[in-house]
Chain A
Amino acid sequence: MATVLVGVIREMLEKAPAPRNLFAPFRLGQIFGEPGADVQQRAVLMDALTAFAHVGTAGAILDLPYRWKRTVYRDPLARA
Protein backbone atom coordinates (compact mmCIF):
# COMPACT_ATOMS: atom_id res chain seq x y z
CA MET A 1 0.00 0.00 0.00
CA ALA A 2 1.48 3.30 -1.07
CA THR A 3 0.72 6.49 0.85
CA VAL A 4 0.69 10.23 0.26
CA LEU A 5 0.15 12.90 2.91
CA VAL A 6 -1.44 16.32 2.35
CA GLY A 7 -0.65 18.89 5.04
CA VAL A 8 -0.90 22.61 5.73
CA ILE A 9 1.91 22.95 8.30
CA ARG A 10 5.15 22.54 6.38
CA GLU A 11 7.22 22.14 9.55
CA MET A 12 5.30 18.95 10.37
CA LEU A 13 6.05 17.50 6.94
CA GLU A 14 9.72 18.36 7.32
CA LYS A 15 10.01 16.83 10.79
CA ALA A 16 7.94 13.70 10.23
CA PRO A 17 7.70 13.09 6.48
CA ALA A 18 5.43 10.49 4.99
CA PRO A 19 6.74 8.63 1.91
CA ARG A 20 5.14 11.29 -0.34
CA ASN A 21 4.11 14.73 0.93
CA LEU A 22 2.13 17.62 -0.49
CA PHE A 23 2.20 21.00 1.20
CA ALA A 24 -1.00 22.97 0.61
CA PRO A 25 -0.63 26.64 1.68
CA PHE A 26 -4.12 26.60 3.16
CA ARG A 27 -5.68 27.14 6.55
CA LEU A 28 -5.58 24.50 9.24
CA GLY A 29 -8.81 22.54 9.10
CA GLN A 30 -9.30 23.29 5.39
CA ILE A 31 -6.65 21.06 3.83
CA PHE A 32 -8.59 20.37 0.65
CA GLY A 33 -10.08 23.85 0.28
CA GLU A 34 -13.17 25.83 1.11
CA PRO A 35 -16.58 24.45 2.07
CA GLY A 36 -18.65 23.95 -1.08
CA ALA A 37 -15.67 24.55 -3.40
CA ASP A 38 -15.93 21.19 -5.13
CA VAL A 39 -13.51 22.01 -7.95
CA GLN A 40 -10.83 23.22 -5.53
CA GLN A 41 -11.27 20.12 -3.36
CA ARG A 42 -11.11 17.82 -6.39
CA ALA A 43 -8.01 19.57 -7.72
CA VAL A 44 -6.10 19.16 -4.44
CA LEU A 45 -7.22 15.54 -4.07
CA MET A 46 -6.19 14.79 -7.66
CA ASP A 47 -2.80 16.44 -7.03
CA ALA A 48 -2.33 14.03 -4.12
CA LEU A 49 -3.30 11.05 -6.29
CA THR A 50 -1.04 12.00 -9.20
CA ALA A 51 1.87 12.18 -6.75
CA PHE A 52 1.85 8.38 -6.77
CA ALA A 53 3.08 8.43 -10.36
CA HIS A 54 5.35 11.45 -10.08
CA VAL A 55 7.16 11.21 -6.76
CA GLY A 56 10.05 8.76 -6.67
CA THR A 57 11.96 9.91 -3.59
CA ALA A 58 10.96 8.91 -0.07
CA GLY A 59 10.14 11.93 2.08
CA ALA A 60 9.91 14.38 -0.82
CA ILE A 61 7.67 17.42 -0.29
CA LEU A 62 5.79 18.95 -3.22
CA ASP A 63 4.67 22.54 -2.72
CA LEU A 64 1.29 23.16 -4.31
CA PRO A 65 1.26 26.46 -6.20
CA TYR A 66 -2.18 27.52 -5.03
CA ARG A 67 -3.18 30.88 -3.57
CA TRP A 68 -6.49 30.01 -1.95
CA LYS A 69 -9.30 32.01 -3.62
CA ARG A 70 -6.94 33.82 -5.99
CA THR A 71 -6.20 30.65 -7.93
CA VAL A 72 -8.45 29.44 -10.73
CA TYR A 73 -8.53 25.72 -10.07
CA ARG A 74 -8.51 23.28 -12.94
CA ASP A 75 -11.20 20.67 -12.52
CA PRO A 76 -9.74 17.17 -12.98
CA LEU A 77 -13.16 16.11 -14.28
CA ALA A 78 -13.14 18.70 -17.08
CA ARG A 79 -12.26 17.42 -20.52
CA ALA A 80 -8.92 18.73 -21.75
Chain B
Amino acid sequence: MRLPTLSRRFAAGLDTVTGTVPWTPASVPLEKASVALVTLAGVHLRSQPAFDMRNADGDASFRVIPGTVSPADLTITHDYYDHAAADQDVNVVFPLERLRELAAAGRIGGVAPRHVGAMGHIVDREERRLVAESAPAIARLLGEDGVDYVVLSPG
Protein backbone atom coordinates (compact mmCIF):
# COMPACT_ATOMS: atom_id res chain seq x y z
CA MET B 1 0.00 0.00 0.00
CA ARG B 2 1.09 3.51 -0.74
CA LEU B 3 0.45 5.21 2.60
CA PRO B 4 2.40 2.96 4.98
CA THR B 5 5.31 3.12 2.55
CA LEU B 6 5.13 6.89 2.63
CA SER B 7 5.21 6.97 6.43
CA ARG B 8 8.11 4.54 6.64
CA ARG B 9 10.02 6.69 4.19
CA PHE B 10 9.19 9.68 6.40
CA ALA B 11 10.61 7.78 9.40
CA ALA B 12 13.74 6.85 7.48
CA GLY B 13 14.30 10.53 6.66
CA LEU B 14 13.97 11.69 10.25
CA ASP B 15 17.01 12.91 12.08
CA THR B 16 17.76 11.23 15.37
CA VAL B 17 16.87 13.56 18.21
CA THR B 18 19.94 14.23 20.28
CA GLY B 19 20.14 15.19 23.92
CA THR B 20 18.62 13.78 27.03
CA VAL B 21 15.18 12.18 26.92
CA PRO B 22 13.01 14.08 29.40
CA TRP B 23 11.67 12.18 32.38
CA THR B 24 8.82 12.79 34.79
CA PRO B 25 8.48 10.07 37.42
CA ALA B 26 5.17 8.24 37.63
CA SER B 27 4.34 8.92 41.24
CA VAL B 28 0.58 8.35 41.33
CA PRO B 29 -0.92 4.84 41.58
CA LEU B 30 -2.76 4.05 38.36
CA GLU B 31 -5.99 3.48 40.29
CA LYS B 32 -5.87 7.13 41.39
CA ALA B 33 -4.49 8.70 38.22
CA SER B 34 -6.30 11.02 35.84
CA VAL B 35 -5.41 9.93 32.30
CA ALA B 36 -5.52 11.89 29.03
CA LEU B 37 -5.02 10.81 25.42
CA VAL B 38 -3.02 12.82 22.90
CA THR B 39 -3.25 11.47 19.35
CA LEU B 40 -1.40 12.59 16.22
CA ALA B 41 -3.86 10.70 14.03
CA GLY B 42 -5.75 13.82 12.96
CA VAL B 43 -8.80 13.20 15.18
CA HIS B 44 -11.12 16.14 15.86
CA LEU B 45 -14.76 17.01 16.46
CA ARG B 46 -16.90 17.23 13.35
CA SER B 47 -17.80 20.74 14.51
CA GLN B 48 -14.15 21.86 14.63
CA PRO B 49 -12.11 23.12 11.67
CA ALA B 50 -10.29 20.37 9.76
CA PHE B 51 -6.51 20.23 9.81
CA ASP B 52 -4.85 22.04 6.90
CA MET B 53 -3.75 19.40 4.41
CA ARG B 54 -2.64 21.96 1.84
CA ASN B 55 0.45 23.03 3.78
CA ALA B 56 3.34 20.77 2.77
CA ASP B 57 4.89 21.30 6.22
CA GLY B 58 1.77 19.85 7.90
CA ASP B 59 -0.45 21.58 10.44
CA ALA B 60 0.88 22.07 13.97
CA SER B 61 -2.42 23.23 15.43
CA PHE B 62 -4.39 21.00 17.78
CA ARG B 63 -8.01 20.36 18.74
CA VAL B 64 -9.39 19.88 22.25
CA ILE B 65 -11.67 16.84 22.54
CA PRO B 66 -13.98 16.52 25.59
CA GLY B 67 -13.62 13.30 27.57
CA THR B 68 -17.37 12.77 27.32
CA VAL B 69 -17.53 12.99 23.52
CA SER B 70 -19.51 10.47 21.50
CA PRO B 71 -17.42 8.71 18.80
CA ALA B 72 -20.13 9.70 16.32
CA ASP B 73 -19.10 13.32 16.86
CA LEU B 74 -15.47 12.65 15.88
CA THR B 75 -13.86 12.61 12.46
CA ILE B 76 -10.35 12.37 11.04
CA THR B 77 -8.48 14.73 8.74
CA HIS B 78 -5.11 13.27 7.80
CA ASP B 79 -3.96 12.37 4.29
CA TYR B 80 -0.69 10.70 5.27
CA TYR B 81 -1.99 7.38 6.55
CA ASP B 82 -4.84 5.03 5.72
CA HIS B 83 -7.52 5.80 8.32
CA ALA B 84 -10.25 3.55 6.90
CA ALA B 85 -10.08 1.37 10.03
CA ALA B 86 -10.23 4.40 12.34
CA ASP B 87 -13.18 5.76 10.35
CA GLN B 88 -15.01 2.55 11.30
CA ASP B 89 -13.90 2.63 14.94
CA VAL B 90 -11.96 5.65 16.14
CA ASN B 91 -10.75 3.67 19.17
CA VAL B 92 -8.07 2.03 17.01
CA VAL B 93 -6.17 5.33 17.12
CA PHE B 94 -7.96 7.18 19.94
CA PRO B 95 -9.21 4.62 22.50
CA LEU B 96 -11.30 6.99 24.57
CA GLU B 97 -14.16 4.49 25.00
CA ARG B 98 -11.68 1.86 26.22
CA LEU B 99 -10.25 4.43 28.66
CA ARG B 100 -13.74 5.12 30.02
CA GLU B 101 -14.26 1.38 30.54
CA LEU B 102 -11.01 1.12 32.50
CA ALA B 103 -12.11 4.08 34.62
CA ALA B 104 -15.56 2.57 35.23
CA ALA B 105 -13.86 -0.63 36.40
CA GLY B 106 -11.58 1.29 38.76
CA ARG B 107 -8.39 0.39 36.89
CA ILE B 108 -7.56 4.08 36.51
CA GLY B 109 -8.60 6.99 38.69
CA GLY B 110 -10.46 8.84 35.97
CA VAL B 111 -10.73 10.06 32.41
CA ALA B 112 -9.37 13.57 31.97
CA PRO B 113 -11.95 16.21 31.01
CA ARG B 114 -9.95 17.27 27.95
CA HIS B 115 -7.96 15.25 25.39
CA VAL B 116 -6.05 16.38 22.32
CA GLY B 117 -6.16 15.62 18.61
CA ALA B 118 -3.26 16.78 16.46
CA MET B 119 -1.46 15.73 13.29
CA GLY B 120 1.74 13.83 12.72
CA HIS B 121 3.90 14.28 9.63
CA ILE B 122 4.97 17.79 10.60
CA VAL B 123 8.22 19.32 9.33
CA ASP B 124 10.19 22.57 9.07
CA ARG B 125 8.18 25.69 9.87
CA GLU B 126 5.24 23.77 11.36
CA GLU B 127 7.63 21.64 13.41
CA ARG B 128 9.06 24.81 14.92
CA ARG B 129 5.52 26.02 15.68
CA LEU B 130 4.71 22.67 17.29
CA VAL B 131 7.73 22.90 19.60
CA ALA B 132 7.40 26.61 20.40
CA GLU B 133 3.62 26.96 20.68
CA SER B 134 1.40 23.90 20.40
CA ALA B 135 3.27 21.42 22.59
CA PRO B 136 3.63 23.87 25.52
CA ALA B 137 -0.04 24.88 25.14
CA ILE B 138 -1.13 21.22 25.23
CA ALA B 139 1.00 20.55 28.31
CA ARG B 140 -0.46 23.65 29.97
CA LEU B 141 -4.10 22.71 29.39
CA LEU B 142 -3.59 19.12 30.56
CA GLY B 143 -1.74 20.45 33.59
CA GLU B 144 -4.63 22.81 34.38
CA ASP B 145 -6.92 19.77 34.44
CA GLY B 146 -4.69 17.96 36.93
CA VAL B 147 -3.80 15.18 34.49
CA ASP B 148 -1.31 12.67 35.92
CA TYR B 149 -0.63 10.42 32.94
CA VAL B 150 -0.76 10.96 29.18
CA VAL B 151 -0.89 8.25 26.50
CA LEU B 152 0.57 9.58 23.25
CA SER B 153 -0.07 7.91 19.93
CA PRO B 154 0.98 8.83 16.41
CA GLY B 155 -1.17 7.67 13.49
Which residues does chain A contribute within 8 Å of B15, judged by CB atoms? 15
Q: Is the CB of B81 within 8 A of A41?
A: no
Q: Is the CB of A11 within 8 A of B11?
A: yes
Q: Is the CB of A49 within 8 A of B30?
A: yes
A19-57 vs B: 1/0 string, CB under 8 Å?
100000001111111111010011011101110110000
Total A residues in contact with B, Cβ cutoff 8 Å: 42
Which residues 73-90 in B have Cβ within 8 Å of A in the complex?
81-86, 88-89
Interface residues of A (CB under 8 A from B): 1-9, 11-12, 14-19, 27-36, 38, 41-42, 44-46, 48-50, 52-53, 58-59, 76-77
**CA–CA, A44 to B98, complex, Å?**
10
Other-chain contact of B24, A3, A33, A38, A45 (Cβ < 8 Å): A3
CB distance from B154 to the nearest CB of A (A): 6
